Amino acid sequence: MSTGVFHPSVAELITGTHQVIVTARAISGGTTVPLDVEDYLVDWTERRTPRCTATLVCAAPDEATLALLDPRTYVRVIVTVSYRLASGSWDAHDVAHLQLRDRTVNRPRDTVTLTCASHEAAVLDFSPMTQHPDDYGTAMPDGTYTTTWDSASGMTRNIIADMLLELLAGPMSDVTVVDEVHSGPATVPINPNDRWDQFESAAEQNGYEILDAGDRVIRLAALPALSPDTALALTVGANGTIEDSDAGVDRDGWANFVTLRYRWQEMSGTERVDRFTYGQQWVQSGPYAPTSSGWKTLVEDRDGHPGQQQANQAAANLLSRMLSRARSHTLTAVPAWWLRAGHTVTVQLPTGPQERHLVAGVVFRPTGMTVVTRLPDSVSTIGA
């Protein structure tokens, strides 16, 4: 079992009486500001960009210190968690490096609420651009725009470096980019209006995701799959960590047929006109095929001009995720601060066998930890 940056003994420690302390500090213009945290909510979820967010309610500092907490400047907020080990020493680690997005002061309670997010938010700030696509791509005979690099890792470096060009020259120069997945040639459609959407769409077509897990690293990673490395064993009983659980099966958030509608443009005479490419996939066999369970269709719009095979692959990747969302568990448990969306956990409830789940999201509060899991579908065959 992996406990991430924390000492391996913490996995056993949290099954009994233990001490854990959550603190935070802000860094503004080289000045470190200790934060007197009174309440907090820190969460990681795979269903949102930015991946990690935090809301910290702190005692309001003096006016000069408060002026440093200006979200219009680059203020980094760091959350630190400390477990007291059996030896008596404290195992302290930073669990989230975030950007301050909002500051709200309440009087007369004399509190300041800080809303923070991982660094995808900074890229999104810079992402909507209006440059002509010729600035980023090569005009093709049909009037579309495509950029080709000699390798997919080259694509990664070029696109994200472009998105971070302004940021890397300024206070966010410590934000890094890591490619964990690519090793071959890649052609990526250019969307001149929003470069984050462009990259996220390319990721979807190729079966990976782009995220900052709260560690100032924007990485491309394979889509989550069950791993033999268990991040946490969730059990009930005297030495268990589960305090409450709800198991649900949902049709409304589920689909057995997915259509992705890609919008792109080409020249018609002297004008640009909209064109569309449709990527589609559906469950072809098993109990959840439309012939057995009826049609449950999801249609989503995308910008870009993928080939038909790429569009269908993106639809297949989305369909796979939709199938796994239908059956989920919401568990209230003792906080395990190394747990993240995408991790594999084992779940043992009072009835039924032990199961291996994927973590879809995890929320930490002073009162405990809430984990939402999903179970990958193993009985459906997706269209080829």
Q: Where are the domains of the chain?
A: 10-118, 124-212, 230-382
Residue-level pLDDT at 120 = 87
Q: Are 372 and 362 in contact (CB under 8 A)?
A: yes
Region 303-332: mean pLDDT is 86
**Which has the higher per-residue pLDDT, 233 or 220?**
233
CA distance 190 to 147: 7
Mean pLDDT is lowest, of 66-80, 252-266, 361-375, for: 252-266
Mean pLDDT is lowest, of 85-89, 139-143, 156-160, 288-292, for: 139-143
Residue-level pLDDT at 168 = 53
Residue-level pLDDT at 383 = 66
Mean pLDDT is lowest, of 68-82, 110-124, 217-231, 337-351, for: 217-231
Residue-level pLDDT at 170 = 65
The residue with tokens 């009486």 is 17
Residue-level pLDDT at 201 = 75
CA distance 171 to 166: 10
Provide the pLDDT confidence category of residue 221 given band limits of 50, 70 and 90. Answer: confident
With pLDDT > 90 as the criterion, what percentage of the chain qualifies? 50
- Tell how strand 230-235 and strand 344-348 pair up: parallel
pLDDT beyond 60 at 374: yes
Q: Are 24 and 39 in contact (CB under 8 A)?
A: no
Residue-level pLDDT at 167 = 53
CA distance 88 to 44: 30
Name the E strands within 286-326: 297-303
Closest CA to 257 of 292, 281, 293: 281
CA distance 51 to 382: 28
Closest CA to 319 of 359, 282, 362, 361: 282
**The dihedral of CA 23, 26, 31, 35: what is its sign?**
negative
pLDDT beyond 50 at 239: yes
Region 48-70: mean pLDDT is 96
pLDDT beyond 90 at 327: no
Region 21-41: mean pLDDT is 96
> φ and ψ at 341, to 5 degrees?
-60, 135
pLDDT beyond 90 at 146: no
Q: What is the mean pLDDT of the chain?
A: 83
Element (H, E) at 165: helix 165-168
Mean pLDDT is lowest, of 185-194, 250-259, 365-374, for: 185-194
**Which has the higher per-residue pLDDT, 352 or 228?**
228
> φ and ψ at 270, to 5 degrees?
-105, 5
pTM for the model stands at: 0.84
Name the E strands within 85-228: 90-106, 111-117, 138-139, 145-149, 176-179, 186-189, 208-212, 217-222
CA distance 310 to 279: 8
> φ and ψ at 148, to 5 degrees?
-120, 135
Residue-level pLDDT at 162 = 56
Residue-level pLDDT at 161 = 54
- Is 10-118 assigned to CATH 1.10.3470? no
Region 295-299: mean pLDDT is 95
